[in-house]
Amino acid sequence: MRIQQISVFLENKTGRIADVTRLIANAGINIRAISIADTADFGILRLIVDKPTEASEAISKGGFTTRMTDVLAIEIPDQPGSLAKIMEIFKETGVNIEYLYASLEKDCSTAVVIFKVEDIEHSLKIVAEHKLSTIDSF
């Protein structure tokens, strides 16, 4: 299923990621997956957390620009070929991916891959048709 991702606008300045993670820590929120997209001038921090609404509020209050986006979280076995299989399904069914990043589950037997897709309704349909294992929180 879909899951909420928090994006945070960051200037390329030392210590800005520390500032954001401190805000999240102080709110007692756990980060489950994290990635950063960087350009020459700025970065976009993307986070999956256990309490997205609270986290977004805490980060915004700290003076950052944030945005909530629906993304797909798909659970795959932590073994060779798992991701390739999903990517092939997406390729054949025309699911266009903007970006993705991954996180390992605690028991290390599965991985969670976060996908930002162009058309989330279409991709949810494909995910259901192919009985892929999605999660709505972790």
Which residues partner with 111 through β-bridges?
76, 104
How many chain residues are in contact with another protein, going by CB under 8 A? 21
39: contact with another protein by CB under 8 A: yes
Helix (H), strand (E) at residue 94: none
Q: Which stretch binds another protein (CB under 8 A): 3-11, 21-29, 80-88, 105-113?
A: 3-11
119: contact with another protein by CB under 8 A: no
Alpha-carbon span 13 to 42, nearest angstrom: 9
Nearest to 48 by CA among 69, 65, 78, 27: 69
- Shortest CB 65 distance to another protein, Å: 5
67: contact with another protein by CB under 8 A: yes
- Shortest CB 109 distance to another protein, Å: 29
85: contact with another protein by CB under 8 A: no
63: contact with another protein by CB under 8 A: yes
65: contact with another protein by CB under 8 A: yes
For another protein, the binding residue among 3, 55, 59, 64 (CB under 8 A) is 64
Alpha-carbon span 14 to 43, nearest angstrom: 12
Give the number of other Cβ atoms within 10 Å of residue 115's Cβ. 22
Looking at residue 137, its amino acid is S
116: contact with another protein by CB under 8 A: yes
